[in-house]
Amino acid sequence: MKPSRKSLVILLAVSFLTGALYSRTITFDFVNYDDTVYVTDNAPVSAGLTWASIRYAFTTGDTGTWQPLALLSHMLDSTLYGMHAGGHHATSAIFHTLNTFLLGFALLRMTGAAGPSIFVAAVFGLHPMHVESVAWVSERKDVLSTFFAMLAMCAYAQWAETLRKRWLVAATIALALGLLAKPMLVTLPLVLLLLDYWPLQRVHRKGRLRCFALLLAEKLAMIALAAAVCVTTVTVQRAAQATSAVDALPFVLRIENALVAYVRYMGKTVWPQDLLIFYPHPLDSLSAWTVAGNAVVLIAIASLSYRFRNFAPYLLTGWFWFLITLLPVIGIVQVGTQAMADRYNYVPMVGLLIMMAWGTRDLLKSTSTVSKNFAGAGACAILVVLAILTWSRIGIWRNSESLYRGTLATMPDNPVGNLGLGALLVDRHRYEEAIPLLETSLRQKHREKEAHYHLGIAFQHTYDYIKAESHYRAAVHLDPEYSEAWNNLGVTLNVLGKPAESLAALERAVDTGPNNVEAAVNLIRYLTQVGHTGDAKRRAMEAATRFPQSQEIRAMFDQLSATGPLTTP
């Protein structure tokens, strides 16, 4: 159905409001919560688009998953804006604005219902639960993959109307690009199948199974793409040790958490309070009553959606949109240690919004004009409240400290908030403030090696070398390849008068950290101090070859060369 000019104007206004809301992010900094991994400390990405960086994007698993197009978008931003964070934020805001418009346009195109379509798009654009996906540079993959998903939906609507193969090919290409940005899009072929049922009405009551079989057959290329990406993603995640082992997180607990998480996503969609950058996973079994209650809620909604399928088919489409699109990240295959995440609800929320918007429209069909006007005013009020909440939520992403302090204001024992703020304060030499935060994070068993490492630094600089040694040893026990911790342990052991252990630790730091300049400098300096000139010369030669740009190593090499014969590297 061709959208009216009035509908398009209103949709454009809503999209413009969304973009204006997020425009404040152009003054924000990067945060040290994964932005270092994706952009600032990622040399191929920060170098911009080059042939070497493009090859890196398609072959690396450094980010814990396979997402080459997302990395390429970061590289393009680095080329355009360098390390000016505002440009990177602007790109994400633009994509979210486009997604808001495309979602509304696709629904208008498929249903012809202006009110519900625009309301769904408006809530999608203005909902505070989506702030994480837009204001966090590292989550470019969310807004980018959804952009291609929305293009795929628009192309698929054209295919359903015209049956011209070029539109099906266009939808398949859009899906492929979306999968290259974020593998979570593997469920899109099933979403398109749901759209076949409603609103496209391509499933006939007679011969329903045959219809579904034919509709699946036309999506075989999409399904094959999704399957290939699933295999690639699981392989990369396992190689990066990003998934949790069954013995670390039992399968029964994963199912229990999934049931609870589904209902929590619904609750935060309707009532977006206490939003967090990290929701800790319940590492112990959940209450049987809690799990059973949440299971009953899910089953009841599914049953009602099926019962009213003939009168309100959008309920089935919306409900299974929500369930299916969340399935890859609901925790059955656990990646990370979170119970849920706001960013995971970026696309799934649309299913719930469809149920609410079209359900409200049908409930108001037989009411008076006054009631309809009242409902319209209520919808506007909801959007105003969401915009205010989103504006406030965006503010915590201004910089790393505001992010972590905002998180701890909502949940004082949040492990990511404590570790992140503690590490940040250590970097700023505010050790006394950092120690209790890091100790809290450690008690919650969150990223323990990092907590031990930063606690070691804090105690080392407050001259409690025994505690520093203990934490550094704990860090290298958890990760024997932790070069920075080995280096600091070596320095600490030297202060404590343990020369043999200090030398062994510094050598291990160099051997495990081929790019650790500080470890190389410390080892050369230590060997020189204890009179092992020959070993110092050898290590200096190796370091000068490995780090030709380091003036400190070059000076040490030249000084050692003056003490006797030494081959120039």
Residue-wise pLDDT tens digits, 392-443? 999 999 999 999 999 999 999 999 999 999 999 999 999 999 999 999 999 8
3-state secondary structure of 101: helix
88, 81 Cβ separation under 8 angstroms? yes
Least confident of 73-77, 120-124, 324-328, 560-564: 560-564
Residue 561 has pLDDT above 80, yes or no: no
Q: Which two tokens stand for residue 230?
A: 């699933």
**What confidence category does residue 326 fall into, taking pLDDT thresholds of 50, 70 and 90?**
very high
**What confidence category does residue 243 fall into, taking pLDDT thresholds of 50, 70 and 90?**
low
pLDDT at 236: 85
pTM, rounded to two decimals: 0.92
**Mean pLDDT computed over 260-273:** 97
Residue 562 has pLDDT above 50, yes or no: yes
| CATH fold of 413-513 | 1.25.40
User: 464 or 204: whose pLDDT is higher?
Assistant: 464
Which residues, 6 or more positions from 31, have their beta carbon under 8 angstroms from its beta carbon?
A: 136, 137, 397, 399, 400, 403
**Mean pLDDT computed over 150-167:** 96
User: 371 or 192: whose pLDDT is higher?
Assistant: 192
User: 424 or 206: whose pLDDT is higher?
Assistant: 424
Q: Which whole-number Å values give the CA distances from 404 to 127, 134, 412, 413, 417, in the listed order?
A: 21, 17, 10, 11, 5
Number of Cβ atoms within 10 Å of the Cβ of 59 = 10
pLDDT at 551: 82
Residue 257 has pLDDT above 90, yes or no: yes
**What confidence category does residue 244 fall into, taking pLDDT thresholds of 50, 70 and 90?**
low
Residue 456 has pLDDT above 90, yes or no: yes
Report d(CA 89, CA 152) in Å as an integer: 25
Report d(CA 559, CA 569) in Å as an integer: 14
403, 277 Cβ separation under 8 angstroms? yes
pLDDT at 141: 97
Report d(CA 174, CA 191) in Å as an integer: 14
Residue 565 has pLDDT above 50, yes or no: no
**Chain mean position to CA 427:** 24
pLDDT at 241: 64
Number of Cβ atoms within 10 Å of the Cβ of 430 = 13
pLDDT at 545: 83
**CA-atom Rg of the chain in angstroms:** 27
Query: Where in the chain is CATH 1.25.40.10?
Result: 413-513
Q: At residue 51, what is the residue type?
A: W
CA dihedral 314, 316, 317, 320 (to 10 degrees): 150
Length of the chain measured in residues = 569
Residue 567 has pLDDT above 70, yes or no: no
pLDDT digits (tens, 9 = 90+) for 96-133: 999 999 999 999 999 999 999 999 999 999 999 999 99
202, 215 Cβ separation under 8 angstroms? yes
Residue 89 has pLDDT above 70, yes or no: yes
Report d(CA 316, CA 62) in Å as an integer: 39
Residue 302 has pLDDT above 70, yes or no: yes
**What confidence category does residue 568 fall into, taking pLDDT thresholds of 50, 70 and 90?**
very low
348, 321 Cβ separation under 8 angstroms? yes
**Mean pLDDT computed over 151-155:** 98
pLDDT digits (tens, 9 = 90+) for 476-512: 999 999 999 999 999 999 999 998 999 999 999 999 9
Residue 14 has pLDDT above 90, yes or no: yes
Report d(CA 399, CA 322) in Å as an integer: 32
Which residues, 6 or more positions from 163, have their beta carbon under 8 angstroms from its beta carbon?
A: none
Report d(CA 248, CA 234) in Å as an integer: 18
Report d(CA 550, CA 563) in Å as an integer: 21
pLDDT at 318: 98
Q: Is 564 left (phi over 0), alpha (psi -120 to 50) or beta?
A: left
Report d(CA 491, CA 148) in Å as an integer: 51
pLDDT at 446: 80
Q: What is the percentage of the chain residues whose pLDDT exceeds 70?
A: 97
User: 537 or 22: whose pLDDT is higher?
Assistant: 22
Which residues, 6 or more positions from 439, have their beta carbon under 8 angstroms from its beta carbon?
A: 451, 455
Q: How many Å from the N-terminal Cα to the C-terminal Cα in the chain? A: 72
**What confidence category does residue 541 fall into, taking pLDDT thresholds of 50, 70 and 90?**
confident
Q: Is 163 left (phi over 0), alpha (psi -120 to 50) or beta?
A: left
pLDDT at 563: 64
Instruction: Please choose, from the candidates 89, 154, 96, the residue with its C-alpha nearest in 3D space to the C-alpha of residue 125.
Output: 96
**What confidence category does residue 329 fall into, taking pLDDT thresholds of 50, 70 and 90?**
very high
Instruction: Please choose, from the candidates 89, 85, 83, the residue with its C-alpha nearest in 3D space to the C-alpha of residue 47.
Output: 83
Burial (CB count within 10 angstroms: exposed 0-12, middle 13-18, buried 19+), residue 431: buried
Whole-number mean pLDDT of the chain? 92
Report d(CA 120, CA 153) in Å as an integer: 15
182, 236 Cβ separation under 8 angstroms? no
